[in-house]
Amino acid sequence: MAAGGGSGVPPDRSGPADAPDSPRIGVDEWVASVEGKRERYTGLRGRLTREWDHLPPPARVLVFAIPAAIFPLVTTEGNLFRYGLFTLIYALLALGLNIVVGFAGLLDLGYIAFFGCGAYLYAILASPQFGYHWQAEAAIPVIVLGTAIVGLLVGLPSRRLFGDYLAILTLFFGQAFVIFVNNANRISFPFVGHTDLTGGSNGIANIDPFNFFGYKITTTRQQYYFLLIGVSVFLVLLMFVNDSRTGRAWRALREDPLAAEVMSIPVNRLKLLAFVCGAAAAGFTGAIYGTIATAALPGDYDVGLLITIYAIMILGGFGSIMGIVVGAIIVSSVPELLRSSANARPLFYGAILLALLVKIRPWRLLAAELGGLVAFGFVVHAIAEAAYPRLVDGKALGSGTVAHALDHWMLLPQHPVKIADFAYISLIAAVVVYPQLSRLWRALLLAPLLYLVMFVWENLLLVQIGGATRLVLLGALLVALMNVRPQGLFGTATVEIV
Amino acid sequence: MSDSKLLELQEVDKSFGGLRVIAELDLVVREHEIVSVIGPNGAGKTTLFNLITGIYRPDSGEIRFQDRNIVGLAPHKITELGIARTFQTLRLFLNMTVKENVMAAEYGHTKVGVVRSMLRTPGARREEKEIHRVAEEKLSFFGDRLMGYRWDQPAYSLSYANRRRLEIARAMATQARILLLDEPAAGMNPRETHEITELIGTLRDVGGYTILVIEHDMHVVEGISDRVVALDHGVKIAEGSFEAVATDPRVVEAYLGLRTAETK
């Protein structure tokens, strides 16, 4: 048994052999070989993850940075602004939050306030508001230090808190910040008296571009490359720190604060450190955002952005550095892509098809469902054409073969508003009831349900694609993902207790 | 036996509300000794560990380690001085790898700060190498159990017995001089219990640790102890060799209850 089992032990990482004089208390090769087989992925996926794990951090960053560096060369200035800049800003913000939430496990809901602090500090130091026009090489260190100090001040009273209590306290801070910048134009400050510090609800406009030793970063392309360098450097720093004494201590206190404390880790100090590091990163990002937006407005630093950043982290996986980059790309680009119906339709149908492919096994059942759906559509269309022609007198939005084909399959009334609203509400009810049904009924009703989904999509959602729909879709995407992979795309599932 | 006192408790008292859990407890652990603490459930054994490691603060009394009063120090400071413990209910960092669990415990005696780690300076690299070396050394103490490919597996994938071993390895990595083991043989089968008994001896003889251990399994206690201390309701009711304590009428009474009138 021992000999046969021993050969199954993966050979690539056997560790040093026991020195002859060190104590040997029992050998369990059988358990080792069985667990070894179970724990290792085989095939392509296993090879890819192993290769990836063996890459040094700078090389991993290049995997992301090289395509990102090529992106501006193949796209227009407008696309670069909409997709590129915001993806990078989101990525930088989420990476900073990842230190606090992902590594140290502190639920910080006031994070966006540090981002706002950075933007407002830069606006004060480099805009006509006070007439200061600092060079970027001087302003950025001051801002990073300044937000780090704010982080320290917020962290000090909350360093003994965990979980919900910390969340509430930081949420209060985040809201207090928004109220402060909204009103700081008419507050009397000590020593100074009445000053217009933040411009109130009008914000501070005409913020200077970054000016490094006389070299100004003005065009979108320059800003993009500056951000890309910032994100890449930050990624490497994070990977280094994650694999260091401090990173391990952060993860240890996330796992079990009491055990960490007893294992010589100063828990309170490390929590504070995580808070300060996150705040500094957010402040840096805020300064960059200030120059890109050329204005600091209180509305930009509210809960909406906080939710977006958390969505990125949830999508990418808490604690996973590269996952967060991917999450930022998805969360910032999907709503932009969905702005036009030409992009939205293939994305929508593609997502449905993908979900069906993943969820329905075996393939015969999938083929039957898809066939049933097509047949169901034609039958409904035929019945409507004969009995109630007003349901089919419209045309599908857009042009092309898909739109053309839909004209003969989907119910497309000329004036869909009323019936589409009714269908929308029925759809919500149906989606709630559907998972409660038995297996057989679910199989039978899947085709009508999908048809209803598509009906609502074609007649209601697609028309309003520029507005609320894309956000509804993004929300649906997140909910669906959380059901399928609670740990996020690249996160590892954590085990609470075994 | 050398008489240098490593750990000394003097008249330590601890109450929770009105309940007195530890009452005027005196205890001495000398260098290179293995001392077992026994007693029925609720006798205050684990509270004793929590007091020594600084999780609780005694209401009165002194706890001296290497002739220094450690009452009031933060737990991580006490661990840095050289007292490390394991938990009765295992408290590993479950989602970290086996090796990382041990490496995390080396925080106290390493120095490189967050900025130097971010820049990965030569000094940081050197220290990181040393951390790896120490972790591997501590893990190799357990034979093949925690070696090789297991280093990179999450701690939750370990068997129960291996988790207990990993907790001991983690405590060793803090560079402790005294190990406080809270029921190291709990939940183990007879063979594993036998191994643990041997291991505790090796920890003292080869590793040079002083050991204070809470244990319920009397075979283990008999096999390892230089001295046994029996607690009941927070009071030390007996102390001495295993034979003396095990036959002490008060210990028997604490475990089995008072004899009824009929048997008198």
Whether residue A352 sits in one domain with residue A268: no
Sign for the CA dihedral angle at B191, B197, B198, B202 comes to positive
Residue A456 lies in a domain: yes
- Which residues in chain A are contacts of B140 at CB distance < 8 A? 16, 18-19, 22
d(CA B249, CA A94): 65
Instruction: Identify the residue among A242, A263, A273, A487 best suited for mutation to test binding to B, counting B beta carbons within 10 A and taking the highest.
Output: A263
Whether residue A358 sits in one domain with residue A286: no
- Nearest-CB residue to B112 (from A10, A36, A245): A245
- Which residues in chain A are contacts of B117 at CB distance < 8 A? 240-241, 244-247
A492: confidence class by pLDDT, cuts 50, 70, 90: confident
Q: Which pLDDT score is estimated for A468?
A: 75
Whether residue A166 sits in one domain with residue A66: yes
d(CA A28, CA A371): 54
Q: Where are the beta strands (DSSP E) in A20-145?
A: none
Instruction: Report the Cα B235 to chain-centroid distance in Å.
Output: 20
Q: What is the mean pLDDT of chain B?
A: 91
Average pLDDT over residues B139-150: 83
Residue A1 lies in a domain: no
Q: Which pLDDT score is estimated for A43?
A: 66
- Nearest-CB residue to B117 (from A36, A240, A252): A240
Q: Which pLDDT score is estimated for A466?
A: 66
Residue B155, CA distances (Å) to A173, B159, B166 in order: 37, 9, 8
Q: Which pLDDT score is estimated for A230?
A: 94
d(CA B101, CA B113): 19
Please, are residues B6 and B29 in contact by the beta-carbon 8 Å criterion? yes
Whether residue A289 sits in one domain with residue A384: no
A21: confidence class by pLDDT, cuts 50, 70, 90: very low
Q: What are phi and psi of B146, to 5 degrees?
A: -120, 30
Phi-psi region of A330 (alpha: psi -120 to 50; beta: other; left: phi over 0): alpha
pLDDT above 70: residue A406: yes
pLDDT above 80: residue A198: yes
B259: confidence class by pLDDT, cuts 50, 70, 90: low
Whether residue A64 sits in one domain with residue A213: yes
pLDDT above 80: residue B101: yes
Tell me the shortest Cα–Cα distance from B251 to chain A, in angstroms.
32
Q: What are phi and psi of B187, to 5 degrees?
A: 75, 15
- Nearest-CB residue to B118 (from A240, A252, A495): A240
Whether residue A104 sits in one domain with residue A228: yes
How many structural domains is chain A composed of?
Answer: 2
d(CA B204, CA B29): 13
- Which residues in chain B are contacts of A252 at CB distance < 8 A? 93, 96, 104, 107
Whether residue A216 sits in one domain with residue A73: yes
What does the pLDDT look like over B23-77, one tens digit per residue?
999 999 999 999 999 999 889 999 999 999 999 999 999 999 999 999 999 999 9
Please, are residues A358 and A348 in contact by the beta-carbon 8 Å criterion? no
Instruction: Identify the residue among B85, B116, B118 best suited for mutation to test binding to A, counting A beta carbons within 10 A and taking the highest.
Output: B118
Instruction: Identify the residue among B79, B114, B138, B141 best suited for mutation to test binding to A, counting A beta carbons within 10 A and taking the highest.
Output: B114
Q: What is the mean pLDDT of chain A?
A: 84
Domain containing A286: what range?
55-301
Domains of chain B (ranges; CATH) run 1-82+178-264 (3.40.50.300), 97-175 (no CATH)
Q: At what angle do helices A267-293 and A220-242 cross, to 10 degrees?
A: 170
Tell me the one-letter amino acid at A125.
L
Which tokens hold the place of B168? 């001991």
Element (H, E) at B141: none
Tell me the one-letter amino acid at A137.
E
What does the pLDDT look like over A358-399, one tens digit per residue?
888 788 999 999 999 999 999 999 999 898 888 888 888 777
pLDDT above 90: residue A115: yes
| A456: exposed, middle or buried (Cβ count in 10 Å: 0-12, 13-18, 19+) | buried
What does the pLDDT look like over A30-44, one tens digit per residue?
455 555 555 555 567
| B186: exposed, middle or buried (Cβ count in 10 Å: 0-12, 13-18, 19+) | middle
Cis peptide before A362 (omega within 30 of 0): yes
Q: Which pLDDT score is estimated for A101?
A: 92
Q: Of A249, A280, A301, which marks where a domain is finished?
A: A301
Q: Which pLDDT score is estimated for A13?
A: 39
Whether residue A279 sits in one domain with residue A363: no
Which tokens hold the place of A198? 């933040």
Which tokens hold the place of B153? 């597996």
Residue A127, CA distances (Å) to A133, A136, A224, A439, A460 in order: 6, 12, 21, 64, 45
Residue with tokens 């030390």: B236
A88: confidence class by pLDDT, cuts 50, 70, 90: very high
Please, are residues B147 and A26 in contact by the beta-carbon 8 Å criterion? no
Subunit contact A39:B103, Cβ cutoff 8 A: no
Tell me the shortest Cα–Cα distance from A63 to chain B, in angstroms.
20
Please, are residues A194 and A186 in contact by the beta-carbon 8 Å criterion? yes
Chain B 157-176, CB below 8 Å of chain A: which residues?
157, 159, 170-171, 174
Tell me the shortest Cα–Cα distance from A221 to chain B, in angstroms.
28
Residue A26 lies in a domain: no
Side-chain-side CA neighbours of B36 within 13 Å: the count stands at: 28
Chain B 179-198, CB below 8 Å of chain A: which residues?
195, 198
What does the pLDDT look like over B218-254, one tens digit per residue?
989 999 999 999 999 999 999 999 999 999 999 988 8
Subunit contact A263:B206, Cβ cutoff 8 A: no
Name which residue leads in pLDDT, A197 or A88: A88
- Which residues in chain B are contacts of A244 at CB distance < 8 A? 112, 114, 117-118, 120, 124, 128
Whether residue A278 sits in one domain with residue A375: no
What does the pLDDT look like over A340-349, one tens digit per residue?
777 788 888 8
Whether residue A142 sits in one domain with residue A283: yes
Q: Give the chain A residue whose CA is nearest to the CA of B191.
A: A26
Residue A6 lies in a domain: no
Q: Give the chain B residue whose CA is nearest to the CA of A494.
A: B95
Please, are residues A117 and A146 in contact by the beta-carbon 8 Å criterion? yes
- Which residues in chain A are contacts of B138 at CB distance < 8 A? none
A290: confidence class by pLDDT, cuts 50, 70, 90: very high
d(CA B58, CA A225): 59
| DSSP-based three-state secondary structure for A489 | coil
Average pLDDT over residues B76-81: 95
Q: What are phi and psi of B181, to 5 degrees?
A: -105, 120
DSSP character string of B73-127: --HHHHHHHTEEE--SS----TTSBHHHHHHHTTGGG----HHHHHHT-HHHHHH
| DSSP-based three-state secondary structure for A49 | helix
- Which residues in chain B are contacts of A57 at CB distance < 8 A? none
Subunit contact B147:A19, Cβ cutoff 8 A: no
From the CB of residue A4, how many other CB atoms can be counted at a distance below 10 Å? 10
B1: confidence class by pLDDT, cuts 50, 70, 90: very low
Subunit contact B154:A495, Cβ cutoff 8 A: yes
A191: confidence class by pLDDT, cuts 50, 70, 90: confident
- Nearest-CB residue to A261 (from B75, B96, B140): B75
What does the pLDDT look like over B163-182, one tens digit per residue?
999 999 999 999 999 999 99
Q: Which pLDDT score is estimated for A27?
A: 44
Q: Which pLDDT score is estimated for A390?
A: 84
- Nearest-CB residue to A25 (from B76, B107, B199): B199
Subunit contact A26:B143, Cβ cutoff 8 A: yes
Q: Give the chain A residue whose CA is nearest to the CA of B128.
A: A244
Residue A1, CA distances (Å) to A6, A11, A30, A38, B209 in order: 8, 18, 7, 18, 37
Please, are residues B110 and B173 in contact by the beta-carbon 8 Å criterion? no
- Which residues in chain A are contacts of B121 at CB distance < 8 A? none
Tell me the shortest Cα–Cα distance from A269 to chain B, in angstroms.
11
What does the pLDDT look like over A243-275, one tens digit per residue?
999 999 999 999 999 999 999 999 999 999 999
Sign for the CA dihedral angle at B71, B73, B74, B80 comes to negative
Tell me the shortest Cα–Cα distance from A172 to chain B, in angstroms.
29
Side-chain-side CA neighbours of A25 within 13 Å: the count stands at: 23
Residue A454 lies in a domain: yes
Residues in chain B: 264
Q: Which pLDDT score is estimated for A51?
A: 79
Closest CA to B13 of B65, B57, B55, B74: B57
Whether residue A269 sits in one domain with residue A368: no
Closest CA to A64 of A336, A347, A324, A289: A324
Name which residue leads in pLDDT, A339 or A11: A339
| DSSP-based three-state secondary structure for B68 | strand
Q: Which of A202-216, A440-454, B248-262 has the lowest mean pLDDT?
A: B248-262
Bridge partners, B178 (sequence order): B83, B210
Residue A239 lies in a domain: yes
Average pLDDT over residues B187-210: 91
Please, are residues A392 and A412 in contact by the beta-carbon 8 Å criterion? yes
- Which residues in chain A are contacts of B103 at CB distance < 8 A? 245, 248
Which tokens hold the place of B19? 């309940």
Whether residue A382 sits in one domain with residue A450: yes
B73 at A interface, C-beta within 8 A: no
What does the pLDDT look like over A303-334, one tens digit per residue?
889 999 998 998 888 888 888 999 999 888 88
Q: What are phi and psi of A288, to 5 degrees?
A: -65, -45
Chain B 116-145, CB below 8 Å of chain A: which residues?
117-120, 124, 127-128, 131, 136, 140-145
- Which spans in A360-416 are helix H? 363-387, 401-407
Residue A486 lies in a domain: no
B147 at A interface, C-beta within 8 A: yes
- Nearest-CB residue to A245 (from B107, B152, B174): B107
Q: Where are the beta strands (DSSP E) in B162-242?
A: 178-182, 210-214, 227-232, 235-240
- Nearest-CB residue to B94 (from A255, A261, A267): A255
Chains A and B: how many Cβ contacts under 8 Å? 170
Q: Which pLDDT score is estimated for B148?
A: 77
Residue A19 lies in a domain: no
Which residues touch A23 (CB under 8 Å, ≥6 apart)? B141, B143, B199, B202, B206
Chain B 81-100, CB below 8 Å of chain A: which residues?
84-85, 87, 91-96, 100
Q: Where are the beta strands (DSSP E) in A215-264?
A: 215-217
Q: Where are the beta strands (DSSP E) in A135-233?
A: 188-189, 193-194, 210-212, 215-217
pLDDT above 70: residue A434: yes
Q: Which pLDDT score is estimated for A37?
A: 52
